[in-house]
Structure 1
Amino acid sequence: MPASTLDRTTALVLVDLQKGITGLPTVHPAAEVVARGARLAEAFRSRGLPVVLVNVTGGAPGRTEARRPGGTPPADWAELVPELDRRPGDILVTKERWGAFHGTDLDAELRRRGVTQIVFGGIATSIGVESSARAAYEHGYHVTIAVDAVTDLDADAHRNSVQRIFPRLGETDSTEAIIGLLG
């Protein structure tokens, strides 16, 4: 369902737009996803709304290195891409698992600011973004996904999230439509 409205206290959560992930081959060009994420971030900041930048530094203990080609990631793997133009007022969430809520203070940070709705973007659609959106829904937030600001490493997984999962969690729309709803 297209996005119909945004709550007065909506936050933007951009998941895993970091050097090590944006450099992987994705279904839609990562550079375009990053550019849309940066555009959303600027629109939210200009309206005084919270921007959350999420990066991932780990996985299940003892298993992450086995799944990553080449073993240990480069030193800058978890650094956010510079295009996001991180600002002092942005909330940084560093996670160890797929979802941005598990084992982090994200929920407390959002509740402290009175946030009732979250707009999501990032990589990978079916992993970090979907896990975070599911948790947001379970925590009682209204969920909106900027579907042109997400991409995945797998086309079928991306399509499943966008067509089957996200519409069950909330609303979906384009970056431009969501910015238009900010007023």
Structure 2
Amino acid sequence: MNQEKAPLFDWNKTALVIIDLQKWIGNRYAPYSAETVIAHSAKLAKLFRSKGAFVALVHVSSKDFKDMPAPKLDTPPPALNLIEGWDEWVPELEVSETDHIISKKQWGAFHGTDLDLQLRRRNLDTLVLCGIASGIGVDTTAREAYQHGYHLIFAIDAMTGFTQAEHEHVRDVIFPRIGRIRTTQEILEESGL
């Protein structure tokens, strides 16, 4: 009995959501380098655009930082060391006029943005997530998406954490409870590439 493998997702119902691949990215990540994450995310973006699928590019942006959360903390947050153009996309993404740009002020891509509205208007129900950092922007967006009822696919090697422990925690504990985990190559093969 020859059973055909069910497709991973329907191109007409799926969006790619890329988190925080902007010029402020540093170089201290694990287990994957920023370069690896950017390269894999750029491949996914190119694939999704070629299929006419929805691509959302999410970044943190602010003019004066007065619109950003300022929680009281026991220890000071790490210094941002922002460079000129810090909130611009890394050039490897080759931002397209068809991409939907989401500017956020906090970790997750849903709160205070039109992401959910744009996805629902297009009748999209599945998100492929990637970006930096696994345990902050990607994880928060994933949890928000899960609570909104979206199906999730994690492009696990197209994301990375500030530490290996951070990445492994969400990969092993959180993500399997709210979605499916695939490599970039597995997603590319799903499309026939």
| TM-score normalised by L of structure 1 | 0.90
Q: Deviation of residue 175 (structure 1)?
A: 0.5
Q: Deviation of residue 63 (structure 1)?
A: 7.0
Counterpart check, 1:91 vs 2:100: yes
Aligned residue type for 2:123 = G
Aligned pairs for 1:65-76 (under 5 A) are 67-69=77-79, 73-76=82-85
Per the alignment, residue 136 of structure 1 pairs with 145
Per the alignment, residue 123 of structure 1 pairs with 132
Task: Report the count of equivalent residues.
Answer: 178
Could you tell me which runs of 5 or more consecutive residues in structure 2 were left unpaired when the two chains were aligned. Answer: 1-5, 63-67
Could you tell me which runs of 5 or more consecutive residues in structure 1 were left unpaired when the two chains were aligned. Answer: none
Q: What is the rounded CA distance, in whole Å, between the counterparts of 1:182 and 1:51 in structure 2?
A: 16
Counterpart check, 1:175 vs 2:184: yes
Per the alignment, residue 3 of structure 2 pairs with none
CA RMSD in angstroms comes to 1.9
Of the two, which has the highest radius of gyration?
A: 2
Task: State the identity %.
Answer: 43
- Runs of 4+ that moved beyond 4 A: none
Where 1:20 maps in the other structure, the secondary structure is coil
Q: What is the rounded CA distance, in whole Å, between the counterparts of 2:51 and 2:182 in structure 1?
A: 20
Counterpart check, 1:43 vs 2:47: yes
Deviations, residues 154-180 of structure 1 (Å, cap 9, x unaligned): 111110011111111110010111122
Per the alignment, residue 160 of structure 1 pairs with 169
Match of 1:108 among 103, 106, 117: 117
Of Structure 1 and Structure 2, which has the larger fraction of its residues in helix? 1
Per the alignment, residue 15 of structure 1 pairs with 19
CA contact (8 A) 2:34 2:160 kept: yes
Closer/same/farther in 2, CA of residues 67 and 24 from structure 1, 3 Å limit: farther
Where 1:67 maps in the other structure, the secondary structure is coil
Deviations, residues 91-121 of structure 1 (Å, cap 9, x unaligned): 0001000000011000011111111100000
Counterpart check, 1:56 vs 2:60: yes
